[in-house]
Amino acid sequence: MPGFELFGDAERKELNDVLENGVLMRYGFDGMRNGHWKAKELERELERRFGVKHAQLTSSGTAALNVALAVMGVGAGDEVIMPSFTFVASFESIMASGATPVLVEIDDTLTLDPAAVEAAITENTKVVMPVHMCGSMADLDALKAICKKHNLLLLEDACQAFGGSYKGEMLGSIGDAGTFSFDFVKTITCGEGGVVITNNSDYAVHADQYSDHGHDHLGSDRGAETHPILGYNYRISELHAAVGLGQISKMDDFIAIQRRNHGVLKQALSSIPEVTFRRVPDPEGDSCGFLSFFMPTAELSNKVVDAFKEHGIDAYWNYYNNNWHYIRRWDHLKDMKSLFPLSDQLKEGLKNIRNQEFPQSDDFMSRNISCLIKLSWTEDEVKDRAERMVTAIKSIL
């Protein structure tokens, strides 16, 4: 990842189709389209590749989460359990629904700790939302068992793990619903975009309506459509869908490249006893968008970061010190800095978050370094990077 590294003729062809017919909107204008429906084509292709009955494209991965939570009936008074390590969109979407995000510890998978999930369940819990961070998956068997035991819904935020799988099933297809992001730095990009996938037909109908102002999309006259439900505007454009349609034709190649490059780097770092790797519940299903490893201490992790800089190694993160992906720096959430008044229920649910501690997550995150796996690296470049990473780490040991 990211897919934009390998833009080419496929994307240009799909974009030109849209520009030549002039219809940039995914709905309506049937007579002008000359048979081109890029969003619909991309949805059908996603359904085929992920083995699901329904896919609903949206304007972003965040919008996909908003839509998924809405069709699952999540709202005021509900609680959604999510990990302390994720992108800010996870809690933003929950709060936008009126529900309360309940943040819990991660484990050595860098995703939800099932024991922490179970301990956080209350009478208000409605959804468990694992986030498959950095290309790999949560412990889905354990989380599914917890959801079944407590009659909860499972929503997979798979935005960073496109193309990954778990025991033969595609990530995103395993829960009651799943979401992906197609923003500019994802494995498959639309520039901006996202999708909700599900096997629940009611969710699918409502997702189609909710993402387009509640339109029922019946008939061929958009002006005559009715509005069975309230909705919002989370539509993807035909231009963005066209880019994604070109990209997804390369999906298998992209994942193969990621796995090849990931393998070279991991094998090289495996020669260093002090380096350990994140636990992957199903190694064969890792999409390999990132290589994530741990140093024995936070101090050594910080030294590795400095050594990487000195050795000209780019595209890596120590997320413990990152503003976007770990709760430690989410002061805007902790202080509830909202432009509009939050509900009393939400404020009550978040009142202790500033003082909440995550010692297990702090330990894993402070020792973790995650390296982006680029698609554009040549074999020589990957080998050279591996050698420089090993040299850099050994220089501080």
CA 64 to CA 245: how far, in whole Å? 18
Q: Are 73 and 340 in contact (CB under 8 A)?
A: no
DSSP 8-state symbol, 132: -
Compute how many other C-beta atoms are within 10 angstroms of the C-beta atom of residue 351.
10
Cβ-based neighbour number of residue 20 at 10 Å: 10
Give me the sign of the Cα torsion angle 359, 360, 366, 370. Answer: negative
Residue 394 a catalytic site member = no
Tell me which amino acid residue 325 is. Answer: H
**CA distances in angstroms from 87 to 61, 157, 271, 273, listed in the order given:** 11, 10, 32, 31
Question: 66, 233 in Cβ contact below 8 A?
Answer: no
Running DSSP on this structure, what letter comes out for residue 191? B
C-alpha angle 283-285-287 in degrees, rounded to nearest 5: 105
| Closest residue by Cα to residue 87 from 317, 249, 297, 286 | 317
Q: Out of 186, 250, 266, 383, which one is annotated catalytic?
A: 186
Does the N-terminal peptide bond of residue 2 adopt cis geometry, omega within 30 degrees of 0? yes
Any idea which residues carry the catalytic annotation?
A: 186
